[in-house]
Amino acid sequence: MSESTQEKQNSTPSARRSSCSSLAEFPFWVISVVLHGLFLGALLMFAPVREIVFKRAALKEAEVITRGDELEMVIEQIRDRTVEKLSARVILLKAGQERMARNFEIINEHFQPFVEQQRATARGRMEKHIADVVPRQAELNQLLEQAVSGGDPQAPVTFAHQWLSRILTGQEEIRRGMRLLEFGGPELLAKQEVAEDAQFEATQFLRWLGDDLRAIAGSEARLNKYKAELLVAKTKVPEAETAVAEAKAGVTAAEGRYTEAKQQWDAERKSNDKERIKAAKASLDEAKRHVNDGRRSVSTLERTLTRAKSTVTRAEQEIAKTRDRLKQRKEKRSTHLTVGCNVHRGAYQRQKDVVTELKALDAWQATSSKDGKKQTPANTAEEATDVKPSKQ
């Protein structure tokens, strides 16, 4: 049955069409393969590809020159080429040297005056700060010595608040000028740094001195406040005591009236007169009210007296504490003033020595000052020591 079914399928029109189409396409594929083969063969035989694929040039061996003339000719050619290259490099080097020389000329023409101007400016700034720093240090030193001797300790503090920052800035500018102008070398520069450190240490003592003065002023203000409170409290205590005594006397009198009213009321109760009993009762109540009011007034006045006495006690205690603190702060003020004066004196002396040594240098003498006057050690000593204190 299956064989008959297969035969029927093969005998269908669609099966017959597929077999016919495959037979019809077979010649087309053969022709296509032949044409492509011919095209590739022609491409390989007649195109430049043939030179690449089939013809490879044989490697040539290097020609060795064995004759002397030819060898000399080759050497001369190499020498000529080397000379040409070296000549070109020498020309470039000469051009570079000319450009460098021109650059140096430009630097000397334009920048060297600028450097000299900078040095002159630095010199002028140094002279300005030296003329400002050393006299201010001397003036502060004089104020501190006066304060140690019993003068006003607020004067150096006020002066330091106004000028100390400028003194420190001036010392720093002096050190920068010494480094820029190369005055004195590392040793003198180290001395200047020591002088700056000493002045900074003195600045700290002056700040502590200012804190002590403010603390003393605050303690004195509190002391005056407690003294005023004590004075008022001591005035109130006798007044309160008098008021308490008077109130107690009033209570005693009220109690006596109350006793009489109670006896009167007891006597009237034995009678049968209601009006008289009522009147006696009213008198008794009024006397009792007076007694109670008097006792309350006494209690209030006694509390007032107690507060006045406690105010006196507290004020006396605060006055004692404030006096102790004031004494301690005055001792600290004295210590900071004395030590600060000594430290500042040392800083001032160090700075003056640096300036004296600086102005004695040959480099300082060789350069002209701002006003064209030569500086001498004698003039330096006069400028450093001849200082008048400014008015506060």
In this structure, the answer to whether residues 168 and 247 fall within a common structural domain is: yes
Domain identity same for 111 and 216:
no
Determine contact, residues 238/264, Cβ cutoff 8 Å.
no
Round to whole Å and give the CA distance between 8 and 3. 9
312 and 358 assigned to the same domain: yes
- 297 vs 9, more confident: 297
For range 48-62, the mean pLDDT: 56
Closest Cα partner for 206 from 144, 129, 137, 125? 144
35 or 116, which is more confident?
35
Q: Work out the percent of the chain whose per-residue pLDDT is above 70.
A: 75
Domain endpoint, select from 66, 93, 128: 128
pLDDT of residue 91: 84
Q: How many CB atoms lie within 10 A of CB 192?
A: 26
Host domain of residue 148: 136-385
Count of other CB atoms within 10 angstroms of residue 133:
26
Q: Kindly state whether residues 198 and 85 are assigned to the same domain.
A: no
Q: How many domains, in total, are found in the chain?
A: 2
Amino acid found at 330: K
Q: Residues of the chain with pLDDT > 90: what percent?
A: 22
Which of 33-37, 52-56, 90-94 bottoms out in mean pLDDT, i.e. has the lowest?
Answer: 52-56
Which residues are within 8 A (CB) of 27 and not within 5 positions of it... i.e. 6 or more apart? Answer: none
DSSP tag of 60: P
15 assigned to some structural domain: no
Residue 243 contacts residue 300 (beta carbons within 8 Å): no
198 CB neighbour count, 10 Å cutoff? 20
Contacts of 377 by beta carbon, 8 Å cutoff, 6+ apart: 356, 359, 360
Same domain, yes or no: 186 and 83? no
In a domain, residue 10? The reply is no
Mean pLDDT for the chain?
Answer: 78
Min mean pLDDT across 85-89, 217-221, 313-317, 363-367 is at 363-367
> Is 259 among the domain residues?
yes
Say if residue 311's pLDDT is above 50: yes
pLDDT confidence of 388, banded at 50, 70, 90? very low
**The last residue of a domain, from among 86, 106, 128:** 128
C-alpha–C-alpha distance, residues 256 and 349, integer Å: 90
Q: Note whether residue 64 is domain-resident.
A: no
User: How much is the pLDDT for 36?
Assistant: 81
Task: Please indicate, yes or no, if residue 35 is contained in any of the structural domains.
Answer: no
Q: Indicate whether 254 and 203 sit together in one domain.
A: yes
Please list, in sequence order, all residues whose beta carbon lies within 8 angstroms of the beta carbon of residue 74, skipping any fewer than 6 positions away. Answer: 65
> Could you tell me if residue 14 is inside a domain?
no
Do 229 and 257 fall within a single domain? yes
What pLDDT was estimated at residue 114?
A: 57
Mean pLDDT of 24-34: 76
Tens digits of residue pLDDT in 96-136 = 877 887 776 666 665 556 556 777 777 888 888 888 899 99
Residue 231: inside a domain, yes or no? yes
What is d(CA 199, CA 230) in angstroms, rounded to the nearest whole number? 46
Quote the pLDDT of residue 64.
Answer: 53
Which is nearest to 340 in space by CA: 181, 243, 200, 241?
200
The band of 301, judged by pLDDT with boundaries at 50, 70 and 90, is confident
What is the spatial distance between Cα 305 and Cα 331, in angstroms, rounded to a whole number?
A: 39
Determine contact, residues 369/119, Cβ cutoff 8 Å. no
pLDDT computed for residue 270 by the predictor: 77
CA–CA dist 354, 342 (Å, integer): 19
Structure tokens at 333: 């003020």
Tell me which of 111, 128, 145 is where a domain ends: 128
Q: Are 315 and 192 members of one domain?
A: yes
Q: Mark whether 181 and 306 lie in a shared domain.
A: yes
Residue 43 vs residue 12, higher pLDDT = 43
122 and 247 part of one domain:
no
Does 318 reside within a domain?
A: yes
Task: Give the least confident one: 91-105, 150-164, 292-306.
Answer: 91-105
Q: What is the pLDDT of residue 390?
A: 42
- pLDDT, one tens digit per residue, over 246-295 is 888 888 888 888 888 888 878 877 777 778 878 878 888 888 888 888 88
CATH number assigned to the domain comprising residue 306: 1.10.287
Judgement on whether residues 168 and 82 belong to the same structural domain of the protein: no
**How many DSSP H helices and E strands does the chain contain?**
10, 0
Q: Are residues 306 and 170 in the same domain?
A: yes
The mean per-residue pLDDT over the stretch 201-215 comes to: 91
